[in-house]
Every structure is written in structure tokens, then in C-alpha cells.
């Protein structure tokens, strides 16, 4: 509980430092949801804005999810919601006393989620605490990996369905208006990259929850700003693996930061420094592959075989 409180408080402080101005000027991502919730309350059209790279419209379910928090003054609703979510995530990650999982909070994926006020920490929380499953309706592009990795109970399913029904009651045509505005989405799908044929191997281990999560992550469209990839930090099973993934991802992040004017560059850097390490860890965690490698090693002639026998 102490670690969770500290993580939540620190996340809130950093968020305030990164965004000292009012929320009204932030129309992208969670900022859009907060402004849309206020639009609904005031009787304004939340889809009246022209979509752009800095204004990406979200489904109206996102506004429903943040609705109770949207009426705090200035940035306080975002700060409180993000801080509480981060604290809950820290608690979920360390329930079994594996505190090395807190390394997630110093990853570039979490930092960029905090800087851009993104939904990925909420999806990570739903992955570890499925009671928060309704939040998956806020960003359908990332919902599939979590939805097929958690256990659904009747109550969780009911709450999610109710969350999806409310926007149609408030604004019946919102879905078609949202679809019309997201046609210009400029993301990438990892499986359709030149890494794709390699990543297909993870689908062979569908029964393993981490391999399934990785495979599903390669199927969904995502941005190149590192924050959409936060769910990959659920794959490491040891402190060493978590450090490898985090350090490798920071290397890719800093290379892009120092070499280009924007993080919006070719996805190859993100795939090579974040997806590829996560993929190799996914394979390393498969007992069947370990047995095959050991069998191959035993069949090697000469000194290698002698060393194995001894």
C-alpha cells in the first residue's frame, strides 16, 4: 500500500509538472474524453472539432468512463484519475511481493503515456485487475489483447455492456460520426511490418497468456510514440527480463529523440528495440522450446556433447 501510494502521488506530481496549463487546451487522447464529457453536460456536440494529428477523436464511451472526473476544476480531474490509476496499478503489480515489476513506471512507454495523457496505463490495470474491464471500451484499438487475456465473469461482462450502451442513449448516432472521423488514422500494425513473419511464431503458443498477449499486440493498430506498447511490459517474468526490455526501449527512444525532430518516425526503431526483445522473451518462456534446444544440444558431436554428459 505504501509503494502504491508513493507511485500514485509521484505520477500525479509529474503530470502536473508536464502539464501546468488548463485541460481545455488539450484535445488529444484523455483530454478529448474530458472535454467530450463536459460537452455532453453542456449540450454541445463532442464531434464538432476537425480531426487532426493533435486532435484524435475517441469513442463516446471514453467520455462516459471519465464523466465523474470531468467536473473537477482545471487539470485536477486528470491528475486525480491518473494518480489513482497508477497507484492501483502499482498495487496490482506488487501483490505477490515482486517489486521489480515497478520498473514499468520508469519505462519510456509509461513516461510517454504520462506525458501524452494516454489510456495505456488503464489498460495495463485492466489486464492485472479485470474488474476494470469496462475501461477497454475507451480505446478499441488496444482492447483486443486485454479482452482475450483476462477472465470474464458475468458481472464484468454486464458492467462492460452497460458502459457501451449508455453513449447510444445519450447520442444515438455517435458511432457513425466517430467512424467517419477516424478514417485518417495514421498508425501501424506490427504484424504487417517486415518483422511480421517472425512475430507469427508467437501465435504457435496461444495457450500461454503472455505469448497470446504478444501475438494479439502485433495485430492491433498503434502509434509510434511508445505509449501504446506499455502492455508489452506484462511479458517479462524476471527482474533481468524487465530491465532488458526497459533499457532496450530507452535506447531506441533516445536514438530517435537525438536523431530526428519528432518521435513520429519509421516504426522499425520501435519494433527493433521494444517488440523484438519482448518477442525473444516470449520464446524464452516456453518450456517446449527449452526441451527442444536441450535435445539439439545433446545431439551435437564432439566436445559439446561431452560437456553436456558431464
The pLDDT tens digits of the residues spanning 163-213 come to 999 999 999 999 998 988 877 666 789 999 889 899 999 999 999 999 999
First to last CA, the chain: 49
Q: Check pLDDT > 70 for residue 35.
A: yes
* Higher pLDDT among residues 267 and 156, named by residue: 156
pTM for this predicted structure? 0.88
Residue 291: its pLDDT value, please? Answer: 66
Residue 53: its pLDDT value, please? Answer: 67
Residue 29: its pLDDT value, please? Answer: 74
% pLDDT > 90, the chain = 56
Residue 307: its pLDDT value, please? Answer: 44
What number is the average pLDDT over the span 7-33? 76
Q: Check pLDDT > 80 for residue 288.
A: no
Collect all residues with Cβ–Cβ distance below 8 Å to 23 and sequence separation of at least 6. Answer: 31, 34, 35, 74, 75, 77, 78
SS3 52: strand
Judge whether 232 and 146 are in contact, CB under 8 Å: no
For the ranges 53-62, 219-228, 298-307, the lowest mean pLDDT is seen at: 298-307
Amino acid at each position: 500500500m505504501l509503494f502504491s501510494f508513493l507511485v500514485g502521488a509521484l505520477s500525479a506530481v509529474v503530470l502536473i509538472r508536464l502539464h501546468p496549463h488548463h485541460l481545455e487546451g488539450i484535445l488529444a487522447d484523455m483530454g478529448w474524453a474530458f472535454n467530450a464529457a463536459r460537452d455532453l453536460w453542456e449540450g454541445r456536440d463532442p464531434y464538432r472539432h476537425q480531426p487532426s494529428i493533435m486532435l484524435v477523436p475517441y469513442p463516446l464511451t471514453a467520455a462516459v468512463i471519465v464523466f465523474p472526473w470531468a467536473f473537477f476544476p482545471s487539470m485536477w480531474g486528470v491528475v486525480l484519475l491518473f494518480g489513482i490509476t497508477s497507484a492501483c496499478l502499482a498495487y496490482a503489480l506488487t501483490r505477490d511481493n515482486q517489486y521489480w515489476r515497478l520498473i514499468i513506471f520508469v519505462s519510456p512507454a509509461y513516461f510517454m503515456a504520462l506525458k501524452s495523457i494516454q489510456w495505456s496505463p488503464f489498460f495495463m490495470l485492466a489486464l492485472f485487475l479485470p474488474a476494470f474491464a469496462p475501461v477497454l471500451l475507451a480505446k478499441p484499438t488496444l482492447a483486443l489483447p486485454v479482452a482475450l487475456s483476462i477472465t470474464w465473469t458475468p458481472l464484468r461482462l454486464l458492467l462492460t455492456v452497460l458502459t457501451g450502451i449508455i453513449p447510444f442513449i445519450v447520442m444515438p448516432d455517435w458511432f457513425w460520426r466517430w467512424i467517419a472521423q477516424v478514417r485518417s488514422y495514421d498508425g501501424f500494425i506490427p504484424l504487417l511490418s517486415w518483422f511480421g513473419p517472425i512475430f507469427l511464431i508467437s501465435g504457435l503458443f496461444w495457450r500461454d497468456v503472455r505469448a497470446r498477449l504478444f501475438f494479439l499486440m502485433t495485430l492491433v493498430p498503434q502509434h509510434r510514440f511508445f505509449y501504446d506498447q506499455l502492455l508489452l511490459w506484462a511479458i517479462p517474468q524476471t527482474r533481468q527480463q524487465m530491465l532488458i526490455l526497459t533499457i532496450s526501449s530507452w535506447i531506441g527512444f533516445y536514438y530517435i529523440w537525438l536523431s530526428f525532430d519528432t518521435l513520429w518516425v519509421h516504426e522499425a526503431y520501435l519494433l527493433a528495440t521494444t517488440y523484438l526483445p519482448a518477442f525473444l522473451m516470449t520464446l524464452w518462456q516456453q518450456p517446449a522450446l527449452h526441451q527442444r534446444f536441450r535435445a539439439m544440444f545433446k545431439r551435437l558431436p564432439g566436445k559439446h556433447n561431452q560437456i553436456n554428459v558431464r
